[in-house]
Every structure is written in structure tokens, then in C-alpha cells.
Structure 1
Amino acid sequence: MTAIFLHFTGVWSNCCQFDDDGRFCGLADREVMAEEGGRSFSRRNQLLDIEKQVHKWWTEGDVFRAQPKESTPKLEFAAAYHRLRGASVLLPFAFHCTGMPIKASADKLLREISRFGNPPVFPVVKEEESVETEVKVEAEGNQGLLGGNFKGKKSKVLAKTGGVKYQWEIMRSYGLSDEEIARFTDPYYWLTYFPPLAVEDLKEFGLGCDWRRTFITTDMNPYFDSFVRWQMQKLKALGKIVKDLRYTVYSPLDGQPCADHDRASGEGVIPQEYTLIKMEALPPFPPKMSVLEGKKVYLTATTLRPETMYGQTNAWVLPEGKYGVFEINDTKVFVLTYKAALNLAYQRLSRIPEKLSCLLELSGQNLIGLPLSSPLAFNKTIYTLPMLSVLTEKGTGIVTSVPSDSPDDYMALHDLKSKPAFRAKFGVKDEWVLPFEIVPIINHPDFGDRSAERICIEKKIKSQNERDKLDEAKKTIYKGRFYEGTMIVGEFAGMKVQEAKGLIRSNLLEMNQAVTYSEPEKKVMSRSGDECVVALTD
């Protein structure tokens, strides 16, 4: 029992001390407090002396050394318990160095050098306040690694650079010189510098580790690297793992997939898959698009509901939205937002893989009135019209309009039809709007085959600007339509929507009237400060 008491006293006294203001303080801080006088620290110092003596006994007696054939690896507290009961316990320790944080930090330093010099001189503004901080480093632990006492200067306003804290400044705050920081541009240097610091902290914590058995991952450890390679090759030979294409959140700047631990924001976000509908623009093109003559031009719209494409009456764009015409191959171009085009470029849908080739920049207003031929639509020609609620940060910024089943589409088309001044504001001609009527395509169990119209009337929605009411109406309709709705048109008439949906999508893809498109569910930023896309990775 005495040994157990000493062991846990060491852990507690070292890890759980606080100063008079309630702040955590380590061993070095507590020794400074003892020298300041005023309060009696004799009992605490006695415990610290005991802790140091026990650490000395452990080191001299090599009590944590164990032979693997005689022991079973355990976690630290379980290992201590069994060791005190007389067992020979092996507790190894390793440093996981295979993630992106180290590489991202090293790359940040390289970029800062390229932009601001070596050492970098960062942009500042007047009224900058700096705070001098002095940190005492325990001589026995980290002096050889960090150089004993050091001072760090931290800008209170972080140079007012849009909230960015430079990696170089972070390293300076550790007390590192500019000459030393420059060595951290090599990610392998991190693996030789920081593990020894961690070992010293773990020893002070009292970790019962056999330090002969410590190692780091990556190819810096050829034995570990060889084991991992053997393991993966063995599993592949047994058919337990395969190599194939998949959609994954990806950082173009880092040039690799961006897993949760590699992200500055967007943890848990996964790819959202859509069907991208190819709506062919019909010539002759307006003067703004005359340079596209001779090419196949498609306005592209993402949808989660390909089964509704029979009921298209028009396509929507945001009048002030920014769009581009991007080359897919030598003869085919897609009209969509820059953000969507970048996702497609990493999904093998760009003339130059992973690079954009933009032939023309357009506004949504430039596209209004453009005639289209859209897959499955009963209307052979539909027109591009303005919609004020189109989101250019989601999908392609172009939306197909199915007013029979979408309350948003129904009310936007209703506004254009009933308000001549609204049409005139955006230069919309009567023949682009007035002839088009609702095309019933799905029978909803509660709202019939014109469900969007019926629910908008019941909820007394008067305009496309009544967002709360429209969102509520949409939720009500979509749930019932998917689970209980029945197709009343097309090849799969009479089939439940949830059964027909996948079949209709497959047909569109097979006939090359649509392609698969994915993007992150929400915005994802990598640790390198890069906004991620979804890539089709090998």
C-alpha cells in the first residue's frame, strides 16, 4: 500500500496544483512561489521531495523494464496496479506522427517565408500592444531543449491581419529563435525535436514506461514502417482490402484527403452526393456568349430529386450571382459557379485534371432568357429565369424548377406570372413565363398531384420571400412524397417514388444526360487554411 500511495502522490502533486488565482501551475511555477515567502509551503515541499525521491528509486531500480514474453501490455494505471502485485508489466510508448498537423504547420512556415522573408516581417498596424511574458523552464527537465528561461513577445492584436495568427509567431511564443524556427520548415525536424520534450514531461508525470520500447511512427522508424507495409500488403493479398475510387473531402493545397483531425473547421462533414442535370443551351446564343458558338453548352443544376425532372417548367439563376463557363473537354462546356467547377475538376470532370479552364465569366442576369432543352422535361424548351433565393454557395448556383412539387418553385413562378413589374425589372419576356403551367408528376397521399400549389394555398403563402412558411411547407411535402408518393408519369408510372428514384437516376447517368457530383455538406477548412472540395480519389 505504501508503494501505491507514493505513486499516486507523485501524479497528484505534479499535475493538480493551482496558484492563488485558480490557475494551473506546474512544478517550476510552484518552486518560484515557494521562494516568494509569505505562506508556508512546507507540507507541499515535503510531498515534492518524496516525489523526486521516488522518481530516483524508479530510475535506479529500472522498475519499468519488462520482457514481453513475461508480460501483457496495459494502460498506465492498470500497469502500475499489476506491477505492485508482483507482475512483470511491459508498458511501451509511441508517438503518432502520421497525421497532417505537423506537415500543415511546416508548410505554413514555408509560405510565410516566401511572402514575408526569413525571418519574416509581418504587416502591422499602429497602436499595437505587446506583452512580455517570462517563462521559467525547469532546469532538470527542458533546459537542454529550450535553453532554460526564455521570453516570448505576443502581439495583443495579432497584427490585425484578419484574425490570422502566423505559425512563425506561434513558434516564437515557445521561446524559439528565428534561426531555430527556420529548421521547422522540414516536417521531419518536428519529429526529432518534440518527442524528447514529451518524454521528459511523461517521466515527471511518473509514467511507468520501459523507455527502451519507445518509438515514433512514419518512415523515420524503418522497423515500424516495414511492419505497416507488410500488414497492408498481406491484407491486400488476402482480399481483405481493395484499392478503388471514392469521393472524399480533399485539400487542394495539401494535395491529399482532409480527414477530421486535419481540419481547422468542419469536423464530421462528409461528401453530399447529387445528380447533376445537364440542360443544353439552345443556339443562337446571346452576344455575350457568342464566343461559345460551335460548342456544346450546358447549364448544370444539382438535384436530390431526379424523379421530379419530368415536371420542369424553367431553370432558376440568381440575377446578381457570378457564374463561369468552364471547359469539360474540347467540345463540351458547363455553366456553373467557380466553387462547383473546382469540385468537378477534382472529380475528373475538367479538360485539365484538377485545374479550371474558364472561357467566360457571366452574371445571372446574362443568363436570363436563355432557352434550354432539359432531360425528361415534358416541355421541350424551357427558359432561364430569375429567382432571388438561389444560393450560389450550394450546388452549382443553377436550379431546376418543378412547381408541381416544390413550394419555392411554385411561389417564384407565381410571382413572375402575376407581377408584370417584377418581370420588367429583370427583362423577362411574357413568352418565357406565361405559357408554362404546372405539370403533375407525383401523387402525394395528402396533397394530391399538385401538392406545392395546395400547401401554399392552405398556409396562405403570398410571396417567394416568406421563407419560414416556405421551409415549413417544403418539409411537410417532401417527407410524405418520398415515402408514400406515387409516380403518375414516365416509364415508372404507378411505382412508389422511393423505388423509382434510383432507377430514374441510373437512366439519366447511363444516357449521359446527367453526371454524379459531390461537394462537402458544409464548409470545411484544412489546417493549412485551405477551403476543401470533394475529390474522386484513387
Structure 2
Amino acid sequence: MSIIASKRIEFPEVNKERRDFLKSIEEKWQKFWEQNRVFEADPDPSRQKFFVTFPYPYINAYPHLGTGYTVLRVDILARFKRMQGYNVLFPQGWHATGGPIVAAALRVREGDPKQINILRSLGIPEEEIPKFRDPEYWVYFFKKEFRRDFQRLGLSIDWRREFFTTRLNPPYNKFIQWQYTVLREKGLIAKGKHPVVWCPKEQKVVGDHDRPDEYAGIGPTEVVVIKFRGEDGYVYPCLTYRPETVYGAVNIWVNPDAEYLIAEVDGEKWIVGEYGARELADQDHKVNVVGRIKGAQLVGHFAVNPVTGWRVPVLPAFFVDADFGTGVVMSVPAHAPYDYVGLEDLKRDPYLLEKYNLDPSIIDAVQPVKLIEVEDYKGLPAQEAVQTFNAKTQRDIEALEKATKDVYSKEFYKGVLKPEIYGAKWGGRKVYEVKEEIINYLSEKGVAFRHYTLSSPVYCRCGAKTHVKLVKDQWFLRYSDKEWKQKAHECIDQMRFVPEEIRQEFHRLVDWYEDWACTHERELGTPLPWDERWVLESLSDSTIYMAYYTIAKYLQHPETYGIDWDRLGNSFFDYVFLGKGDPEKVSAETGVSRELLEKIRQEFLYWYPVDMRVSGKDLLGNHLVFFIMHHVAVFPRDKWPRGIGINGWVLA
């Protein structure tokens, strides 16, 4: 649905004569601006420049209200700076990289009624819909519609610099391949095995742009799976974020209403949820499903705590999600609010004991064991947190989440392990100091292993529930590199942020990011120059394109400047953006005259760096961080970005 007008919206009655008069004024000045090329900006050494940009929108539908809100803020800033006498450049491009367009085109080809109805709801004529079977048609159709709406909004854009992404635009394609060649030469791209968010239906990596907005920013998290061996011959694999608390695990939880798999995993017979089995299989474990069993059938069984040797019962808990992690949870009621409340529910509800044929003496024997001292809690941390946040039963999810966050945070940073539990090696030390040591100990003992999972469910745009997979031969950006992070922090320190409070969030995010899978298969985009089986994903090809704006008026109009796209290569971009190479040789190699080559380079030098990048807050956690990271990796310090402005969302 266009931000300008929609057949589906009924506007209140207006004075049509007055409306038409106002529209005629709009059209008059928009025509004047276009005919007189008012907003075309060229270098002028006598004037101070101001370069402002807006993230190029993804063109798989019409512009939405959020697009209009943010881009109007950019336009207001651009016009204000012109009034102050600045030479202002406000360019615009379009983003077509990634899976959503390909996935939508596939659904049209398959005759998916939901996707076809979406196109109808957008006002696409019936005879036009079959054309949307082709992903390329989506690109060209909505690119045209976006530009039309932006022009009708009267945005003060220099349209000579318009471009769109993917291999469909050869000069931009070559620009991106140059960027990744530079990053590889600097050792900032690596190949190997890495955990990624994976769609089992479409068999692809799911980046932030391949999922609905509410799932953005959720990635693989390292956890630990601890194996409790059951007296019934099964292994109960308990996934935990807090392996150091296994010393206080006094029972195991399963969801009595859920169905579990009996699976041979690495030669052992395990009880595991279907989701967990899929995730284990995709993380180098041999998994063979041999049967199924209800959680209720496991209640009352016993297993052995692999560290303490305690005999612990398997008990029912409704807060356990069999489709999260392994679906099996170790219970540490002294330090986990959910576990404490789950145990209390059983103690005070004789109906549950009768339903699952549990002897009350079994429940009475399960007693919390305090492992960690923290000044904020005098007694059992879980018990006190539950009381503080008023969590009465395991159904009080919101209160339990708050209590859990409170306990885990305080214990991790301030908690001290009790010497009588952990001995001289770890006793008396902080949790955060010894956690890795304990994980290594459990792994060497053969009772635990590291695993990757998602902290909350993530769904692909195709509707499938994703999981974490270890992808082999994948290419990654080494965002974990300490020197790279340090440069990013230095850039953040010298930038202007609006509002100022987001500066610290950028620092936090730079530290938080680890290596990032930058390539996908079967998507629109730019092929990796040295391994064309892979295509750069949508967040990874949209980091320094602001530099491309400065020279796009030349490259996007080759017929005007006599540029042969086929002859453009890395040497051209090396010289234009980095001043590297012999201009005579570059001219001979590319066919671009020495005079034009110098003119293109001077254009970049005049406009760069970006003075202000304005975006909605949804891009703070990914694109804007990558924007900083890639600039400090590719460009010298004087070309690092100067400012970022963030706004909220328009909610309808």
C-alpha cells in the first residue's frame, strides 16, 4: 500500500476544490524542481558540504508509513542545511538483496493463496499478478513505485545517483565485490564451521531481513547440555545456561503433556524433544529416532546427577517447552525461580501427585541446595526473588521472568561459590570467573558438551520455525576481531548521536557481536567474488554503499560518460576510494579517461564522509552497527561516519 494513497482507505469528506488547488501547487513546484534540477548537488570547493543519507528501503512492497516518517525527517534536515548555506547531497537507492523477494516469488509460482491475496490487497491488477512469479519483476516494479511515491512527497533528492542492489546492477555488484576483496585482504573474512539460524523448510540461513521484524537480533547462543543417566537406560540431556549450578540439581523436569522422542544419539539412547533432536543432528551429532514417548510416562523415573551422584527424580512441570532446547530441564530450586515455584506447586497440589502416581515422600525428599552467596539475598535466592516479584505459581510467567533475570544477573556478577560445595578450586570465587573452567571440567569428564540454541523462537518469513545449525564451508565476517572492535569504539567516541543516549548502546552492540555469517545460497544479491556459490546476504551488502552514492551519477549513466561496465575492476575502486594505484594504469585498464577518473575521485573526496545517517530504531541493532564496522575497516579515519540519528516507529 502506497504511503501516498490507497484504494482501501476511506478518507473523510474534504473540500475537493480546495484539495485540487493544493495538489496543483504541489505539482507545480515538483515539476519546477525537476525541470530546473534544483536538488542536483555537485562539488563546490567554495562551500561547506553536508552529506545526509536514509537507509535504502527493501523494495518488496509499497512504501509504508514508517518509511515516510523517517525519510521526511531526512528531507527536513537536508532543506534546513541548504537554508544555512551548505552544499547538501541527499541521494537515494533501493535494496533488493536477500530472500524475501525470492520467497514471495516462489509462493506466487506455487499458487499460494495467501501470497496472491497480499498482492491483490496492494492493488496489483489481476492480469499483472502472474508476472510476480519472477523475482526480478518484483525489483523493477516496486523500484519504480518507490521512486514515484518519493517524488510525489516532494523529497529533495538528487535522482542522478539512484541505484539498486544485486547482480542485476553490474556497477554496484562490482563495487560490493571490491569491498569484500578489501575485507578479505585485511584478514577480516574467514571460512569455517559456524552456528547460524537455519530454516529447515527453505534450507537456508535466516538473517534479520529473512524474518519478521519481531524476531530481529535473535541469534545463536552458546549453552551447555549435561547428561543425566537414567535408571531406565535413557540419557536425560538437560540444556542449561548455568552449568555451574549442576551441583544443586535435585530433580529433572519434563512436560507431562508433551511427546518426546526416544533417539539414539551418538550411540546412546536419549529422551529429547523433536526440536532438540533436529538441532542436535544439525550440530554434528548422529541422531536416529527409534520411538516416541509421552512426558507423563517418564514422570517418577530416576536418574543420577553426574557431578554429585545424587539419585534425582523426573517430575512434571508445565513451564517446560518440549520445543525449546532439548525439552528436558535440570532443576535447581535454590537458584532458579521457575524450579522453585514448580516444586512448590507439586507440594501443595495432591491432585498432581495422584494424577502422575507420585509418592509424596519423593517430593518431600527434594530439597533446595544453596550453592552461591550473594549479598542481595540472605536465604534462598530463588525463594526471595519469587516473593519479591509475587510469582505464586508456574503460570505467572511475567513475574517469573523478572525474578529469573534478577537472580541470574546478580549471581553471575556478584555471586560467590560456596567452598563447602565447590571445594578449594572454585569455592570463594565469583561465578563469572569460574564458569568457563567448570564447563571445561564437565566436558573433559564426558558428562556435558557445548551446544547452540535460540533464546526464544524465531520464525522464517516462510512460516517455518528455525533452529541453530552448524554450517560448514560458510564465510564469516570476523566481528569478533579485537582490533576491529577497537576501531569501531574509537569511531563511536568521535561521532554525533541523536539522541545522545544511543552512544552507549552502540558501544555495547559492538562488544556483543561475534562472527557473522555473511553469505547465503539461492538469493538475490552479489556473488562472493572468490567463491560464487555464495551470495552476500542483505545486511552484509549494505554497509558502505553511501560511498557509492558519491560516484553513482557516473557509473549509473555509462552512456553519458563513456564508461564500460565490463572493464571496471578492483583497481578502479581502489583508486577512487583509497587513492591506491597508478592512475595512468587504471585509466588504461578500465577505459576511463585520466581526466574523468580524477573527477570521479575528487567527487568522492569532496562529499565523504557521511555527515548524518538517519534511520528508524529497528536498524540500530544490526545495519547501523555494521555501517560503522565496515567503514572503519575499509576507509581511513578521515572518512569515518560523523553522525547517526535514530527515531522511533509509527504504529498504526
Segments of 5+ residues of structure 1 without an aligned counterpart are: 1-14, 114-121, 123-165, 286-296, 352-356
Contact 1:73 1:92 in 2 (8 A): no
Contact 1:311 1:404 in 2 (8 A): yes
Inter-partner Cα distance in structure 2 for 1:438 and 1:49: 74
Residue aligning to 2:242: 305
Q: Is 1:492 matched up with 2:435?
A: no
Q: Helix, strand or coil for the counterpart of 2:326?
A: coil
Inter-partner Cα distance in structure 2 for 1:99 and 1:191: 12
Q: How does 1:191-340 map to 2 (within 5 A)?
A: 191-206=139-154, 211-264=159-212, 265-283=214-232, 285=233, 297-329=234-266, 331-340=267-276
- Residues 278 and 57 of structure 1: CA distance in aligned 2, closer, same or farther (over 3 Å): same
Residue aligning to 2:550: none
Residue aligning to 2:303: 372
Inter-partner Cα distance in structure 1 for 2:229 and 2:248: 17
- Residues 390 and 69 of structure 1: CA distance in aligned 2, closer, same or farther (over 3 Å): same
Q: Helix, strand or coil for the counterpart of 2:307?
A: coil
Inter-partner Cα distance in structure 1 for 2:376 and 2:217: 36
Inter-partner Cα distance in structure 2 for 1:48 and 1:438: 72
Segments of 5+ residues of structure 2 without an aligned counterpart are: 53-74, 475-652
1:308 deviation in Å? Answer: 1.6
Kindly name which structure, 1 or 2, has the bigger radius of gyration based on alpha carbons. 1
- Residues 69 and 514 of structure 1: CA distance in aligned 2, closer, same or farther (over 3 Å): farther
Residues 410-447 of structure 1: CA distance to partner in whole angstroms, max 9, x if unpaired? 56556767887754431235785566655554445576
Residue aligning to 2:355: 425
1:498 deviation in Å? Answer: 3.2
Contact 1:273 1:518 in 2 (8 A): yes
Q: Helix, strand or coil for the counterpart of 1:104?
A: helix
> What amino acid sits opposite 1:197 in the alignment?
E
Inter-partner Cα distance in structure 2 for 1:405 and 1:83: 60
Contact 1:68 1:90 in 2 (8 A): no
Residue aligning to 2:115: 167
TM-score by length of 1: 0.66
- Residues 372 and 63 of structure 1: CA distance in aligned 2, closer, same or farther (over 3 Å): same
> What amino acid sits opposite 2:270 in the alignment?
F
Q: Helix, strand or coil for the counterpart of 1:526?
A: coil
- Residues 216 and 369 of structure 1: CA distance in aligned 2, closer, same or farther (over 3 Å): same
1:389 deviation in Å? Answer: 4.1
Q: Helix, strand or coil for the counterpart of 1:109?
A: helix
Inter-partner Cα distance in structure 1 for 2:390 and 2:148: 70
> What amino acid sits opposite 1:493 in the alignment?
G
Inter-partner Cα distance in structure 2 for 1:447 and 1:211: 62
Q: What percent identity do the matched residue pairs reach? A: 29
Residues 499-532 of structure 1: CA distance to partner in whole angstroms, max 9, x if unpaired? 2323112222343322223333333333222223
1:188 deviation in Å? Answer: 1.6
Q: How does 1:79-94 map to 2 (within 5 A)?
A: 92-94=91-93
- Residues 533 and 198 of structure 1: CA distance in aligned 2, closer, same or farther (over 3 Å): same
1:181 deviation in Å? Answer: 1.6
Q: How many residues align?
A: 439
Residues 309-338 of structure 1: CA distance to partner in whole angstroms, max 9, x if unpaired? 122332122222221123434x23432222
Residues 85-110 of structure 1: CA distance to partner in whole angstroms, max 9, x if unpaired? 99997765422111333223223323
Inter-partner Cα distance in structure 1 for 2:386 and 2:5: 64
Inter-partner Cα distance in structure 1 for 2:397 and 2:128: 56
Q: Helix, strand or coil for the counterpart of 1:242?
A: strand
Residue aligning to 1:358: 289
Q: How does 1:75-154 map to 2 (within 5 A)?
A: 75=52, 92-113=91-112
Inter-partner Cα distance in structure 1 for 2:401 and 2:156: 58
> What amino acid sits opposite 2:470 in the alignment?
L
Inter-partner Cα distance in structure 2 for 1:454 and 1:201: 57
- Does 1 or 2 have the higher relative contact order (CA < 8 Å, sep 6+)? 2
Inter-partner Cα distance in structure 1 for 2:40 and 2:399: 69
Residue aligning to 2:279: 343
> What amino acid sits opposite 2:216 in the alignment?
E
Residue aligning to 2:457: 523
Inter-partner Cα distance in structure 2 for 1:46 and 1:468: 55
1:409 deviation in Å? Answer: 4.1
Residues 120-148 of structure 1: CA distance to partner in whole angstroms, max 9, x if unpaired? xx5xxxxxxxxxxxxxxxxxxxxxxxxxx
Residue aligning to 1:504: 438
> What amino acid sits opposite 1:273 in the alignment?
E
> What amino acid sits opposite 2:29 in the alignment?
E
Inter-partner Cα distance in structure 2 for 1:451 and 1:91: 56
Residue aligning to 2:496: none
Inter-partner Cα distance in structure 2 for 1:45 and 1:462: 61
> What amino acid sits opposite 1:495 in the alignment?
R
Q: How does 1:28-107 map to 2 (within 5 A)?
A: 39=17, 44=22, 47-48=25-26, 50-51=28-29, 54=32, 57-58=35-36, 74-75=51-52, 92-107=91-106
